[in-house]
Amino acid sequence: MSKRKAEGVHGFPDRSIRRRMVDAPHGFEAIKIIVGTGLAAKRFDIHLELLIQHSDYFQQALRNHKEANKQRVIELTETDPEFFVVFKNFIYEGKIYSQGDDDMHEMIGGARARPADREWDRLCNCWLLGEHLVSTSFKDAIVDAIQAKMKEEECYPLDIHRAIYAKGSCSSRLRNLLVDIAVWEWDIDSIEGCRQWAAESRFMIDVAIALKERLDSDQPQESPFAHQEPCHYHEHVSEGKPCYTTMFRSSNLFS
């Protein structure tokens, strides 16, 4: 038995933090996901509603499990937990947690040595994970994180185009971004570094085409990063989907 007391007296808050269970924003059901193999494998419990909202891969996998009356456990044996946790944090918070404390490490490049930055590789692998999970929202957020890093740290990626061109979709908007980076930001040494990679021919052809279009243009020469629409490099535009930024609404705890 309990007694009712007026709110706002005896130290009680004016508004309650309590809510009805049926109003829970992510529903009740959580799906167990095993990522990786062996001792490196990790378990993630993620709300069903968020998985379906952000990943066509999970949507189809969960539908297949339901039709087969199987236990709802999904295994991603080929995925690194380090990258999957970035996806998990994103679908809950709409942020990309990709910065590490020791991202700058050994020098690469021989005579033209420069410090390597692990965050570029992490962002690249997270985008490829988004490809595997068929998650447009996650991929678009990763693209924004790449541009944010460029702006905030005044740097640009030199190597991630190799993995994106080798493993990513031929029509991805990230390819467009990486080509624009090469055309507008790379110096001669960066371009020279591509000569040793025979597999980069497609990338360099795209760069050459973009350079030709830039030279032939009658428009004022201005970097595409100077003034662009927020969704310029987003894939949701061509897919007719909403931008991921509209999926996350800040809410007051006591509203």
Indicate the pTM of the whole model.
Answer: 0.83
Q: Is 43:30 a contact under the CB 8 Å cutoff?
A: no
Separation between Cα atoms, residue 224 and residue 150, nearest integer Å:
13
Q: Are 51 and 91 in contact (CB under 8 A)?
A: yes
Number of domains in the chain: 2
Whether the CB-CB separation of 153 and 107 falls below 8 Å is answered with no
User: Are 46 and 157 part of one and the same domain?
Assistant: no
| Contact partners, residue 187, CB within 8 Å, separation at least 6 | none
pLDDT of residue 26: 61
Q: Are residues 132 and 217 in the same domain?
A: yes
pLDDT attached to residue 89 = 96
Pair 36, 18: CB distance under 8 Å: no
| 130 neighbors 87 (Cβ within 8 angstroms) | yes
Query: What pLDDT, on a 0 to 100 scale, did the predictor assign at position 212?
Result: 87
Is there a single domain that holds both residue 157 and residue 228?
yes
Sign of the C-alpha dihedral computed for residues 49, 50, 54 and 60 taken in this order:
negative
153 with 220, same domain?
yes
Instruction: Confirm if 175 and 163 have CB atoms less than 8 A apart.
Output: no
In angstroms, rounded to a whole number, what is the distance separating the alpha carbons of residues 210 and 180? 8
Within this chain, do residues 193 and 128 fall inside the same structural domain, yes or no?
A: yes
* 45 plus 123 within the same structural domain: no
* 126 falls within a domain: yes
Give pLDDT tens digits along the chain (255 positions): 455 554 455 566 666 677 666 566 666 688 999 999 999 999 999 999 999 999 999 999 998 877 755 777 899 999 999 999 999 999 999 999 999 887 776 555 444 445 678 999 999 999 999 999 999 999 999 999 999 999 999 999 988 999 999 999 999 999 999 999 999 988 887 877 776 665 578 888 898 898 888 888 777 777 888 777 889 999 999 999 999 999 986 443 333
Where in the sequence is the domain holding 70, given as residue range(s)?
A: 25-78
Q: Does residue 10 lie in a domain region?
A: no
Look at residue 194 in the predicted model and tell me its pLDDT: 73
Identify whether 246 is part of a domain: no
Asked if residues 173 and 132 have their Cβ atoms less than 8 Å apart, the reply is no
Task: Output the six-digit token pair for 44.
Answer: 């993630």
